[in-house]
Structure 1
């Protein structure tokens, strides 16, 4: 009788979970413990190049980010076997008062001839313009003011393609970073 009771107890415990939470979370659409937000894009057969993340605390989410990596890369001018792929990061930040600000950051991971600022040529869906950018830290540039940041945030989120001419020190000419901007999900960047 004790053996039968032990077998029944073991079967009951196995039926209560026994490590199946990870399998549940891996199912399409998530499950218990799923922390990745799936994009709300219509299924067109194309995969978006946008990656989304957020930062929050007990009071809620206060920062939303969208990253997009260039389709191409360049070799480091000093180390010929090191590849650099630039990327853009768009951020929306919500203050404790509820005000929302937008930021645009371009990561290059190589020194730029942009000290303290420079005009960077950008082409959005065939429309060419130059934007005043400043060196944030080595290999990172940001718009020189809030107005330019707002313009670029809008361009990066409403265009299909962009070419950003990055003035990388050591290259014979600026590097044309090509971005596929299709599939941006505005819902992922709403508080």
Structure 2
């Protein structure tokens, strides 16, 4: 059984000479490990079994259910999150691999009062149908336009090629990403103008 611990109280009560990924105790015959992962900007210390997948840590351990699980084989991309800014499929990545790294989920993109351009784009261009693939699509899109702020339609289609939409809503998804890229470019241009004035 994996448990989430407070990042300060329990972690400081144990020996500080131990590496965070060292075994800490056995739970049902399986050694658990303590890891610290920065999730959506917040350091989280958890005690987990080494076999726990990142997707399950996020969903069951941390309650971040925006990360969806659709296939467990990295085919659909519904579980895509950002790992140190790069898109990864969390359904086949071990949670212990995220020790000392930064993970961003769809919950970390924006807030209800201040949406990320990707979230705005999916809303404005109706880039969803059933919505199951949407969190993974958004995370892959965020990584794409961060790396390539001025993508072509072909760039977007290639960048999202690891994410499946079973509703076949790709056209509006592509439009949503292009809209988000344009919005992000405009915001960057406005910010650079403010600095130079």
More strand per residue: 1
The structure having more radius of gyration, on CA atoms, is 1
Q: TM-score range by the shorter chain?
A: under 0.3
Higher helix proportion (structure 1 or 2)? 2
Length-normalised TM-score, structure 2: 0.25
